[in-house]
Amino acid sequence: MSNHIFWLCSYPKSGNTLIRLIIAALFFTKDGVVNLDLIKYISNFESTRNLNFIKDKNKNDFNNLNKLEILSKYLIESQSKKNLGLKEDFGFFKTHSANMKIINYNFTKVENIRGFIYIVRDPRDVIISWSHYANISIAESVKFITNKDACINWINSENSFLDKKIIPQVFLSTWDTHVTSWIYQLKKTPKLIIKYEEIVEKKKETILKIIDFFENNYKIKFINIENKLNNIIKTTTIKNLQKEEKNKLKDQKLSNPFFRIGKSKQWKNVLTNEQNKLICEKFGETMKVFDYI
């Protein structure tokens, strides 16, 4: 294994999907026109198909992957080219995992990583977005984001051998622990940190920043870039993405749409003064780094 993973990482509901679409449009289209089918070019690492190899290694462990102490033993091995099904020199992979020791095992290792983009969002807006997406109250969302043991489920893939009743967990921890676990680690690895607020308020500048990052660090030259840039901007408006999502899932009951509002500072009209104070006290040091307070 050698530098074959480029991570797109973030705490949940921080803009990872939008960045995935932008990256996919830059690398895998001729014209930059975005549609939700482009997501297939950037796999979700936390997909249970990536754990199929464990069944032949240790069937008992395979049947207990819902336990973090079991799952964590296999995280590094699951990132091999073979177990990821990676045929190219490297691939893009989305993750929501914190980059830290999970039980006694690291989530990833530097030898695997080509580079990464970390997307960060004001935790007060994350609270609101997670509340809508997870169908929980704002108070419950506050508890979630401040929980040092917070986890979410892996995606259960159609081609997974894992029993649907066995649900592996993605370890997040608190918002600030998650952010710092990525931005202050892997110091010699090429990395780009993007604020969600920049994506929605300064999209052109953000895309140009992404282009410069890949050109400067990997000598990649993008073709037809002006046309791509214009089309990406036009086709990643919140209205267009909402329409795409509705059409793609028209045969499903969509109670929790993924693309909801796409705005920053929603928290000002939603959080109580006490909730705002709590978040600023708990996460203040990290929030100051990104000028959130």
Query: Is 10 within a domain?
Result: yes
Query: Is 274 within a domain?
Result: no
Q: How many domains does the chain have?
A: 1
* pLDDT at residue 1, as a whole number: 46
pLDDT in tens, 214-257: 999 999 999 889 999 999 999 998 787 877 777 665 444 444 55
**pLDDT of 15 strictly over 60:** yes
Query: Is 31 within a domain?
Result: yes
Give residue 263's pLDDT band: very low, low, confident or very high (50, 70, 90). confident
Query: Is 146 within a domain?
Result: no
* pLDDT at residue 242, as a whole number: 77
pTM: 0.92
How confident is the prediction for the chain on average, in pLDDT? 92
Query: Is 34 within a domain?
Result: yes
pLDDT in tens, 17-47: 999 999 999 999 999 999 988 999 999 999 9
Average the pLDDT over each of 51-65, 177-191, 202-216, 259-273 and give the range with the smallest value: 259-273
Residue 203 sits in which domain range? 5-122+153-237
Secondary structure, 3-state, the chain: CCCCEEEEEECCCCCHHHHHHHHHHHHHCCCCCCCHHHHHHCEECCEHHHHCCHHHHCHHHHCCCCCHHHHHHHCCHHHCHHHHCCCCCCEEEEECCCCCEECCEECCCHHHEEEEEEEECCHHHHHHHHHHHHCCCHHHHHHHHCCCCCEEECECCCCCCCCCCCCCEEECCCHHHHHHHHHCCCCCCCEEEEEHHHHHHCHHHHHHHHHHHHHHHHCCCCCCHHHHHHHHHHHCCHHHHHHHHHHHCCCCCCCCCCCCCCCCCHHHHCCCHHHHHHHHHHHHHHHHHCCCC
pLDDT in tens, 113-148: 999 999 999 999 999 999 999 999 999 999 999 999
Query: Is 15 within a domain?
Result: yes
**pLDDT of 183 strictly over 70:** yes
* pLDDT at residue 247, as a whole number: 66
Query: Is 93 within a domain?
Result: yes
Determine the average pLDDT of the residues in 256-267: 69
Query: Is 147 within a domain?
Result: no
CATH of the domain at 181: 3.40.50.300
